[in-house]
């Protein structure tokens, strides 16, 4: 295999990928010095590790590990319930800081974004790498924890860069140096290449990203769908996968899943958990003025086995009653006596815009309109008095008790340290430093 570069230009486009280092855990460590330098995880309320600090990572704690195992690996581990309010406040600040430099920012996830710096060298009077440095400096100092940054001619290469050195790395990969970076990079580390593709490539004796990139385009196109070929082209320095700066306006599916503890083998209790999820999912569906005609209900046992069943309705709806009626019908097939369950969930999909007032063959539209009127009122009431002031009888058991009994029922510290004038439901939109300030 030759040593010729993938592309001759450095940055025909300049794409940045920025990744918060252990984002949730860092949010916690940066606001409370008591936690700094210590192994810490978030996700206590879920019973599994959602995010771990680098200190915890070093002790072998991984994502989605169960708390008991994590605690065994590290007895002095600090376990915190997730404070999503604070994480999302800091996430918005993260995007806002990057947008000081460029309007073209793709908010990829709560702790990751892509940014297009193309053409900004002149206004800033700096090379791209210096702009990237400036963005990183602002993020690190103003948010109080570190970010890893990758600069490349496209998204795939930028992503290789941000992973290259973590935490707090800044790696620029110009087009003519891509081959150096992918030489020893295992192909499954590429963004968008999953286990199935990796397994297939292994059969073709392709293990590194460079081996993949050196294959002829005809061969790739013959064996793989378009997205994989896009990755191949981006490894050759082309800009193929566009930056998507539009905010999320609609969903393909909406999922609600909740874990409860202790686990339960009571069919009525588990059903009410499912019912609560259906209520929450349809509430979100209504918020986006959508309706769904298909749903999957599922239960998860203590052994982490999932049992699901799919249902289809005669017309799209956004009322929980319709789905709960269906759930009642299929529930006996789902619930096995003697099994212990830890979570329930629902996915609503095939979402379509809610077309109210459309008549149907059997004259049910009057009923539908009544239902819509009812839920408009329900949503207004919930907006005013809290999400769980009004719920269906079938969700009663789930609403009556805390989601988690005992230690896992802990709430985030911010929720219990309200400022004068704040209510339980309305907080000041400014992140708070925690711990004693004397």
Q: Which stretch binds another protein (CB under 8 A): 137-145, 149-157, 162-170, 388-396?
A: 137-145
Residues 69-98 that bind another protein (CB under 8 A): 93, 96-97
Residues 138-167 that bind another protein (CB under 8 A): 138, 141-144
Burial category of 115 from C-beta neighbours within 10 Å (exposed 0-12, middle 13-18, buried 19 and up) = buried
Strand order across the beta sheet in which 15-20 lies: 105-109, 112-116, 15-20, 147-152, 170-172
CB 112 to another protein: min, Å: 18
Question: Is the distance from CB of 35 to CB of 23 less than 8 angstroms?
Answer: no
Q: Is 112 a catalytic residue?
A: yes
Q: Which stretch binds another protein (CB under 8 A): 181-189, 286-294, 401-409, 428-436?
A: 428-436
User: For residues 151 and 157, what is the distance between their CA atoms, to the nearest angstrom?
Assistant: 8
233 CB-near residues (< 8 Å, 6+ apart):
217, 240
* Contact residue for another protein among 200, 385, 401, 433 (CB under 8 A): 433
Per CB under 8 A, 131 contacts another protein: no
CB 31 to another protein: min, Å: 7
Nearest alpha carbon to residue 259 among 411, 42, 48, 40: 48
User: For residues 6 and 234, what is the distance between their CA atoms, to the nearest angstrom?
Assistant: 10
* Contact residue for another protein among 362, 421, 423, 426 (CB under 8 A): 421
CB 30 to another protein: min, Å: 8
The pair phi, psi for residue 200, each rounded to 5°, is: -65, -45
Cβ closest to another protein, residue 145 vs residue 397: 145
Per CB under 8 A, 337 contacts another protein: no
Lookup result for tokens 């050759």 = 236
From residue 361, alpha-carbon distances to 23, 315, 322, 365, 390 in Å are 52, 11, 18, 9, 32
Q: Which stretch binds another protein (CB under 8 A): 240-248, 267-275, 296-304, 419-427?
A: 419-427
Lookup result for tokens 């968008």 = 192
Q: 420 in the Ramachandran plot: left (φ > 0), alpha (ψ -120 to 50) or beta?
A: beta
Cβ closest to another protein, residue 357 vs residue 421: 421
Residues 17-56 that bind another protein (CB under 8 A): 31, 33-34, 36
CB 435 to another protein: min, Å: 6
Residue in 45, 106, 112, 279 annotated catalytic: 112
Per CB under 8 A, 436 contacts another protein: yes
User: For residues 282 and 54, what is the distance between their CA atoms, to the nearest angstrom?
Assistant: 38
CA 92 to chain centre: 14
Q: Which stretch binds another protein (CB under 8 A): 104-112, 225-233, 236-244, 412-420?
A: 412-420
CB 101 to another protein: min, Å: 13
- Tell me the site size for another protein, rule CB under 8 A: 25
Active site residues per annotation = 112
Q: Which parts of this chain interact with another protein (CB under 8 A)?
A: 31, 33-34, 36, 93, 96-97, 138, 141-144, 417, 419-421, 428, 430-433, 435-438
């Amino acid at each position: 295999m030759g040593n010729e570069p993938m592309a001759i230009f450095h940055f025909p486009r300049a794409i940045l990928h920025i990744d918060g280092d252990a984002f949730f855990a860092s949010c916690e460590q940066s606001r409370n010095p008591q936690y700094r330098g210590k192994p810490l995880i978030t996700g206590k309320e879920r019973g599994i590790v959602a995010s771990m600090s680098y200190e915890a990572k070093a002790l072998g704690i991984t994502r989605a590990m169960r708390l008991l195992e994590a605690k065994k690996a590290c007895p002095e581990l600090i376990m915190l319930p997730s404070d999503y309010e604070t994480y999302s406040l800091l996430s918005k600040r993260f995007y806002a800081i990057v947008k000081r430099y460029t309007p073209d920012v793709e908010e990829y996830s709560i702790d990751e974004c892509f940014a297009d710096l193309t053409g900004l060298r002149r206004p800033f009077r700096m090379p791209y790498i210096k702009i990237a440095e400036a963005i990183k400096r602002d993020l690190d100092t103003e948010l109080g924890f570190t970010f890893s940054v990758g600069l490349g001619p496209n998204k795939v290469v930028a992503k290789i860069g941000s992973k290259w050195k973590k935490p707090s790395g800044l790696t620029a990969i110009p087009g003519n140096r891509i081959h150096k970076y992918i030489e020893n990079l295992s192909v499954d580390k590429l963004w968008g290449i999953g286990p199935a593709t990796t397994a297939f490539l292994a059969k073709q004796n392709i293990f590194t990203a460079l081996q993949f990139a050196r294959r002829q385009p005809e061969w790739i196109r013959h064996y793989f769908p378009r997205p994989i070929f896009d990755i191949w082209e981006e490894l050759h320095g082309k800009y193929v996968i566009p930056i998507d700066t539009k905010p999320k306006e609609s969903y393909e599916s909406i999922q609600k899943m909740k874990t409860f503890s202790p686990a339960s083998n009571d069919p009525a209790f588990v059903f009410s958990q499912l019912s609560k999820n259906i209520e929450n999912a349809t509430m979100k569906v209504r918020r986006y003025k959508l309706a769904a005609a298909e749903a999957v209900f599922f239960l998860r046992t203590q052994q982490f086995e999932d049992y699901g069943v799919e249902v289809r309705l005669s017309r799209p709806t956004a009322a929980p009653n319709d789905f709960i009626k269906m759930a009642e019908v299929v529930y006996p097939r789902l619930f096995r006596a003697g099994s212990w369950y830890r979570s329930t969930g629902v996915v609503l999909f095939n979402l379509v815009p809610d077309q109210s007032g459309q008549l149907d063959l059997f004259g049910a539209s009057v009923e539908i309109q009544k239902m819509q009127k009812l839920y408009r009122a329900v949503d207004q009431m919930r907006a005013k008095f809290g999400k769980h002031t009004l719920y269906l009888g079938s969700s009663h058991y789930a609403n009556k008790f805390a989601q988690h009994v005992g230690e896992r029922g802990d709430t985030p510290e911010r929720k219990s340290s309200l400022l004068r004038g704040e209510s339980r439901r309305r907080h000041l939109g400014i992140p708070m430093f925690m711990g004693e300030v004397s």
